[in-house]
Structure 1
Amino acid sequence: MKILTVVGARPQFIKASAVSNVIRKCHKEILVHTGQHYDENMSQVFFEELNIPRPDYNLEVGSGNHGKQTGTMLIKLEEIYIKEKPDFVLVYGDTNSTLAGALCASKLLIPLAHVEAGLRSFNRKMPEEQNRVITDRLSNILFVPTDSAVENLKREGIKEGIYNVGDVMFDAILNFKKLAENKNEIIKELALQDKEYILTTIHRAENTNYIERLKNIVEALNECGKPVVLPLHPRTKKYMTDYGLKFNDNIKVIEPIGYLEMINLEMNSQKIVTDSGGVQKEAFFMKKPCITMRDETEWVETVENGWNIVVGTDKNKILDGIMNFIPDKTQKNIFGKGDAAIKILEVLNK
């Protein structure tokens, strides 16, 4: 069986690291990197440190408006699909790479499998939400990570081809946690004290593209009085400059880092403050309190389980979360047993 996998952004590299290694034990995989993340620190380093096979194709699409980026991917992917004639196309998550990979497979009548299907924030203004909904509608096989994702699909009338396999990111955490423990040079370089710093990520367009939202986030971090480590996303860096915003000395701003270094920072942090979907889950896996700077989350289980609070970009709510949020519940096993990749392969084999 020939499976063509489309990836293009950091979370997808991490998920593919778990699934591709399992697939390649018994099937042929063609790996296509769209180039949606083109910065070396955001892309190339993941293939190296996670031992992901080198892409068979790199489309080098780069950044751009949604229409241009997705359209360019479609044109290039169609040529590859026709040439390779895969039995399945496999896509991950909710990026423009996911949408382009799904649309192209559907147009060419190639069976489509979506890993991380069924997630919903119920905010259709989010590009990611649009991509999720469309991809799920086009998919023949929907690999969902949680029970709530199953229910989301059923409410939308999708009742066939759904497989609750657990979360492939949990697979990745279990695979790489030991390696990550040895990536503590960054802790020493930044002179950080174990369990005394806040780890922060800011990258979503809904936060970076609006000055008031980004300003509130920056002011909350500046005023929290705690050491904060912030791997700065290129988009956020650009808008910080455009808006004339600056961080105080308690914020240690660093370049984007590799996955293993990020896991090391997460496991040694006191709390995590983020607008990332993936980092919310990683915080849960690491048993770290998470303060989510969004108006909603697709990972509702982490909130219901008491380890994540959604505060939007209200400065006072962010500050209160940093200073006072302490989970009051024991974690439940809600993301599977770390065998999602094996279950995905079993379904594809059938």
Structure 2
Amino acid sequence: MKIITVIGARPQFIKAAPVSRALRKHFDELIIHTGQHYDSNMSDIFFEELNIPKPDYHLHVGSSSHGKQTGEMLTNIEEILMKESPDYLLVYGDTNSTLAGALAAAKIHIPVVHIEAGLRSFNKKMPEEINRIMTDHVSDYLFCPTETAVKNLKAENITKNVFNIGDVMYDAVLYNRNLAGNSKIIQNLGINSKDYILITLHRAENTDDPNKMLAIIDAFKEIEKTKVWPIHPRTKNKLEQYGINLNEIPGLQVIDPVGYLDMLRLVMDAEKVMTDSGGVQKEAYFLNIPCVTLRDETEWVETVENGANLLVGSDAKKIVNAVYQPSNSSYPSVFGDGKASEAITKILMK
């Protein structure tokens, strides 16, 4: 049997690594890389470090408006599907690549497999929310990371072929954390374990709003701790556009995006994480690192309910208070047993 997997963004590369390993024991898998993330630090290094098979097709779509990017992907993916006639089309998460792949397959009656189905922020101003809702409603197999995701789908009358198999990112962390321990990034940056705050910031709801960005930067200035920020290219461009000077933030090291193993090591050794990334929220949870989320809501409600994650939005005072607030250092397992990839493969084989 033949599966075509569509990926295009950094979080999807991480998720694809364990799933691809499991699938290829029983299926012929072809990979389409849309090129949504195309910088070598955001793309190539992940394929190398995680031993993801090289893409069979690379669309080189790159950056553009949501409509143009999604439309170009959809057109190209449809052509490949017509040529290859796969038994399944598999997508991850909630990016434009996810939606384009799902729509292309659904329109020509190829069963759609959605990994990380059922997530909801209930904020339709987020493009990711639109992508995940639309993808879930055209999918034939919906693999959920948590029981909350299953309940979200049920509330939308999606109940057929819905499976809570756990989180494939947990598979990836368990598989790679020992390798990440060999990373030299802590020494190379001249920082000490458990003596820095790790920052990531990339979501449009923050970066496209200059008032939010100014408030967040003001909070960073008030935090008298070492801070490490692997900066997303899009965020960097927005800060320059707004005239925000990161050199004014004391104790801040701004670095280029890093590979998966270096990033995992930075999360593992951080005192706390500040982020608007869903993936980083989870990685922090898996590794028992307290998280401060720079959003007003999160799809990963379990991390908040279990005291691992504080939602602070862009309120400078809340951000600073959260960083200095004492945190638990151990959290219950709610994301499966680290064998989600094998579970997905077994279900599809049936």
TM range (shorter): over 0.9
Normalising by structure 2, report the TM-score: 0.98
Q: Determine if the alignment matches structure 1 residue 68 to structure 2 residue 68.
A: yes
**Could you say which residue in structure 2 is the equivalent of 1:198?**
197
Instruction: Note the 1:298-337 alignment, pairs <5 A.
Output: 298-327=299-328, 330-337=330-337
**Residues 149-173 of structure 1: CA deviation (Å, up to 9, x unaligned):** 0000001111111011000000000
**Could you say which residue in structure 2 is the equivalent of 1:244?**
243
Instruction: Note the 1:111-260 alignment, pairs <5 A.
Output: 111-183=111-183, 185-247=184-246, 248-260=249-261
Separation (CA, whole Å) in 1 of partners of 2:322 and 2:168: 28
> Match of 2:224, as an amino acid?
G
Aligned residues: 348
Identity value in percent: 56
**Could you say which residue in structure 1 is the equivalent of 2:346?**
346
Q: RMSD across aligned C-alpha pairs, in angstroms? A: 0.8
CA shift at 1:189, angstroms? 1.6
SS of the equivalent of 2:224 reads coil
SS of the equivalent of 1:120 reads coil
> Match of 1:300, as an amino acid?
V
> Match of 1:196, as an amino acid?
D
Tell me, yes or no, if the aligned pair for 1:70 and 1:100 is still in contact at 8 Å.
Answer: yes
Greater Cα shift, 240-249 or 289-298: 240-249
**Residues 73-99 of structure 1: CA deviation (Å, up to 9, x unaligned):** 011001100001000000000000000
> Match of 2:35, as an amino acid?
G
Instruction: Structure 2: state its 5+ residue gaps.
Output: none
**Residues 224-248 of structure 1: CA deviation (Å, up to 9, x unaligned):** 0100000000011001111111222
**Could you say which residue in structure 1 is the equivalent of 2:37?**
37
> Match of 1:313, as an amino acid?
S
Tell me, yes or no, if the aligned pair for 1:271 and 1:289 is still in contact at 8 Å.
Answer: yes
**Residues 97-156 of structure 1: CA deviation (Å, up to 9, x unaligned):** 000000001001000110000000000110000000000000000000000000000011
CA shift at 1:37, angstroms? 0.2
Separation (CA, whole Å) in 1 of partners of 2:158 and 2:326: 37
Alignment CA distance shift 1:166-1:229 (3 Å)? same
CA shift at 1:325, angstroms? 4.2
**Residues 31-60 of structure 1: CA deviation (Å, up to 9, x unaligned):** 000000011100000000000000000000
**Could you say which residue in structure 2 is the equivalent of 1:108?**
108
Tell me, yes or no, if the aligned pair for 2:193 and 2:269 is still in contact at 8 Å.
Answer: yes
> Match of 1:148, as an amino acid?
T
CA shift at 1:249, angstroms? 3.5
> Match of 2:285, as an amino acid?
F
Tell me, yes or no, if the aligned pair for 2:224 and 2:250 is still in contact at 8 Å.
Answer: no
Separation (CA, whole Å) in 1 of partners of 2:26 and 2:132: 29
**Residues 174-215 of structure 1: CA deviation (Å, up to 9, x unaligned):** 1111110001x2111211011010000010011011111011
> Match of 2:219, as an amino acid?
A
Separation (CA, whole Å) in 2 of partners of 1:298 and 1:177: 24
Separation (CA, whole Å) in 1 of partners of 2:150 and 2:156: 10
After TM superposition, what 4+ stretches of structure 1 lie above 2 angstroms from structure 2? none
Separation (CA, whole Å) in 2 of partners of 1:57 and 1:20: 16
> Match of 1:266, as an amino acid?
V
Instruction: Structure 1: state its 5+ residue gaps.
Output: none
Separation (CA, whole Å) in 2 of partners of 1:41 and 1:5: 21
**Residues 320-343 of structure 1: CA deviation (Å, up to 9, x unaligned):** 01111413x852110000000000
**Could you say which residue in structure 1 is the equivalent of 2:289?**
288
Tell me, yes or no, if the aligned pair for 1:289 and 1:325 is still in contact at 8 Å.
Answer: no
Tell me, yes or no, if the aligned pair for 2:288 and 2:330 is still in contact at 8 Å.
Answer: no
Tell me, yes or no, if the aligned pair for 2:103 and 2:135 is still in contact at 8 Å.
Answer: yes
Separation (CA, whole Å) in 2 of partners of 1:281 and 1:204: 16
Separation (CA, whole Å) in 1 of partners of 2:35 and 2:318: 36
Separation (CA, whole Å) in 2 of partners of 1:256 and 1:108: 38
Normalising by structure 1, report the TM-score: 0.98
**Could you say which residue in structure 1 is the equivalent of 2:8?**
8
Separation (CA, whole Å) in 1 of partners of 2:347 and 2:214: 47
